[in-house]
Amino acid sequence: MQIGIPDDAGPLVAATPSAVQKLGALGYDVVVTEGAGTAAGLPDDTYRDVGAQVVSDRAAAWECDVVVCTTVPDDVAERMRPGTMLVSRLAPAAHPDRVRALADRGITALALDAVPRISRAQSLDVLSVLSNVAGYRAIVEAAAEYSGMFGGQVTAAGSTRPATVFVIGAGVAGLAALGAATALGARVRAFDVRPEVAEQIESMGAEFVSEPAAQQQVSADGYAAPLTQEQLAAALRLYTREAAAADIVVTTALVRGTAPTTLTAEAVAAMRPGSVIVDLAAPGGGNCELTVPGERVVTGNGVVVLGYTDLPARMPRHTSELYGTAVANLLTLLTPAKDGEVRLDLDDVVQRGMTVARGGEVLWPPPAVQVSAGPPAPATPQAEEAAPGAAPGAGAPARRRPAWLNGALAVAGAVLGGLAVAASPAETVGHFTVLALAIVVGFYVIRSVTHALHTPLMSQTNAISGIILVGALLQIGSSSVLVTVLATIAAAVASVNVFGGFLVTRRMLRMFRRTDDDGDTTARNDAGAAGATEGSAR
């Protein structure tokens, strides 16, 4: 089968040479329109070098068995042959007439912007790709507009304070924006109505702004729901307060494609002259009341409001590279035999969720896919029925101990511990003192270290475990059976920690090791494995 890569209207291209090479390995013949990758810095010769057929006839790519593009023209159904397949961003909810036209022509249409949000489909999710690039580019645009430097500077003539960046929303775009701003040295604060993302924000080096009155319960599907009137009022007060203290504000709030208002005209009026607002929700109408989609606006008090809707296209090389990788991953899924033949399996929830038209039928919207971004809600305990003859109240839940009893037990435990230490030899008292200090120091060290450094911190505990191991080995030969048993257990546990720490260190280092893959330099990402090792869930 032939895969066509037409010349899209914008600077993006649906497949880079590395993606074309992967498609060729799957058994496909790739046809690329002449000049399709020029705007992304990819000359035609780079496509020819990997085996693609570069054609000057712009209609040739549209007549292939499979057509892959980043955007579709209004007459896409007329350009393609009946019975072929289209893979692109289709916005099926916003353009039902287009989907109907494709179905009427017998075209199988797969929407890359309808990928189910489940872990198995992340490698196909172009929306995350575009959001990531948009978040990064938002900081680039803000830095160009801002009249100062992001990072604080110390010079012989004096010092400057770092810029303050406030990010509204911690989805893919928001996290990319705060990561880029942190890397530039800015002081970054962020807020999201989903409380479960606080740890992600802090792991990126930003400060999570807490406002319980404006936050929802832990979401079941990873998306924010519309706020109640009380939550909305609390959120708007928070946004107004933070925006007034910020130099740059990045808004990313979208609820099912709709942009709620997060910055009112009054909030913008309270901001300092020279401040910058980058509205990443401009394609959905904008989060700021003064946003004009696609344009740069300067308010009466000197605040710059950027409502650009083409931020990913302003970085065409890397956007095209990531987009093409997602396309190659999709075709790999559709070609299990690697024989150049597409086999669409509608029993697969990922393929079914993307398929909006097939065999003359419109298949949009797809069946709901159950996803869970947060921990499942604990089941409500129910008292079991008492068995016949059981004592009254046997099935009732246990009564909680009163608070005074817990306090009394704590005091009694402290007194007994003090007496045990007082009755111990002076040598043992010293050991107890070292243990207590180690517990206190360890507690404050762990609490003060950012989440992103927990893995390397755990790796450094290998040295401590090694000391424990040496001490245990010295005590194994003791004449006391109890000491020998405890030393053997300590040696075994310390050995597990030492070897486990080396494995964690190795995985951590592999995250930053670069390997050559089809001529491109890529970074191996074992973050999920390292995160699982330290007991954190994404």
Tell me the two tokens of residue 431.
């050991």
Neighbours of 78 (CB within 10 A): 10
Active site residue 122: yes
Structure-token match 């933070």, residue found: 242
Give the whole-angstrom CA distance, residue 383 versus residue 394: 10
Give the whole-angstrom CA distance, residue 230 versus residue 232: 5
Nearby residues of 180 by Cβ (< 8 Å), 6 or more positions away: 135, 136, 138, 139, 140
Neighbours of 94 (CB within 10 A): 9
Structure-token match 């499942």, residue found: 376
123, 221, 223, 317: which one is catalytic?
223
Are 511 and 531 in contact by the 8 Å Cβ rule? The answer is no
Give the whole-angstrom CA distance, residue 538 versus residue 533: 12
Nearby residues of 184 by Cβ (< 8 Å), 6 or more positions away: 139, 143, 150, 151
* Burial of residue 83, with CB atoms counted within 10 A of its CB: 0-12 exposed, 13-18 middle, 19 or more buried: exposed
Tell me the two tokens of residue 193.
């109505």
Active site residue 506: no
Give the whole-angstrom CA distance, residue 5 versus residue 33: 6
Amino acid identity at 414: A
Are 319 and 16 in contact by the 8 Å Cβ rule? The answer is no
Amino acid identity at 194: R
- Angle among Cα 63, 69, 72 to the nearest 5 degrees reads 85
- Angle among Cα 463, 467, 469 to the nearest 5 degrees reads 110
125, 192, 247, 279: which one is catalytic?
125
Active site residue 448: no
My answer on whether omega of the bond before 365 falls inside 30° of 0, hence cis, is yes
- Angle among Cα 226, 135, 376 to the nearest 5 degrees reads 45
Are 64 and 4 in contact by the 8 Å Cβ rule? The answer is yes
122, 147, 372, 480: which one is catalytic?
122
Active site residue 223: yes
Alpha helices in 55-171, H assignment, sequence order: 58-62, 76-79, 96-104, 126-145
88, 128, 215, 275: which one is catalytic?
128
Tell me the two tokens of residue 9.
């209207």
Beta bridge partners of 281: none
Widest CA span of the chain, in angstroms? 94
* Burial of residue 131, with CB atoms counted within 10 A of its CB: 0-12 exposed, 13-18 middle, 19 or more buried: buried
100, 117, 237, 352: which one is catalytic?
117
Give the three-state DSSP class for 488.
helix
Active site residue 323: no
Taken as a whole, the chain contains a residue count of 538
Buried b (16+ CB within 10 A) or exposed e, 406-445: eeeeeeeeeeeeeeeeeeeeeeeeeeeeeeeeeeeeeeee
What is the set of active-site residues?
Answer: 117, 122, 125, 128, 223
